[in-house]
Structure 1
C-alpha cells in the first residue's frame, strides 16, 4: 500500500501522500525484515545456517538505525523540491534523509538476497 501511493503520486504534486506512502513502505518493511530475522533464528539450524541468521539480523539492525534519522530528517524539511544545492536551507536534512533512505532500500535488497539458499533447497522435482 505504501509503495503504491509512493510511486503513483509524484513527489511535488501531493507531497503529504508521497511522504506518507514512503513512511508506510519503509516503516513496515523494516518491521517485516526484523520479524523475518526472528523467524530465521527460530528455524535455525534446520532451515538455514547461523551465519545467515546473523547476517539477516545485522541488516535489520542497520535498517532500523537508518530509518529513524530518515524519518526525523524528512519531517524537518520545510520545502519540497527536486534540485538541491549544498548550502541551501534544509539541504543537510535532505541529504541525511536521502542517504538513510538509500541505506534502507539497499538493506531490503540484500536482505532478500539472503533467501536464495532457502529457495534452492525447496525445489520441487516431479517423479518420473
Structure 2
C-alpha cells in the first residue's frame, strides 16, 4: 500500500502494479508529518497493517503500526506522546458532511471502499505514507 498525502490518494499494489486507487481524507491538519498526539496530522513513513476492527465506529478499519521507534524518539525529544490508534477507516454517518480532511490523523475512504480494502489487505501488509 502507498499513500500520497498531497494527492489525497491511496494505492493498493501487487508488486509494482496498482490494483486499486482511492481518494482519501486525512487528519484535520494534513500538511506535515505527525509528531505528537493531538496534532491532527497523518503520519509519514514506513509502517505495516497490524490489526483489524470489524466493529469499528468508522464502519470497518485496519490499523497502521504508528508509532514506530523513530516516531517515539521524535515525540520523546519534544517531551510529548506520539499518540497512536492510526487507522484506515470508513466514514460514519455523523461525519458525512465533515469535509475532506476531518480525522484526528487517520486515513478515511468511503464505507464501500473500506469494505474492499478490508477484504483485500492482510495484517503484515506494508504501507508507505508519503508527503
For CA contacts below 8 A with separation 6 or more, give which structure has more relative contact order.
Answer: 2
Instruction: Please confirm whether the aligned pair reaches a TM-score higher than 0.5, indicating the same fold.
Output: no
The structure number with the bigger radius of gyration is 1
Query: Given the two structures, how large is their TM-score scaled by the length of structure 1?
Result: 0.25
Structure with the largest fraction of strand: 2
Query: Given the two structures, how large is their TM-score scaled by the length of structure 2?
Result: 0.25
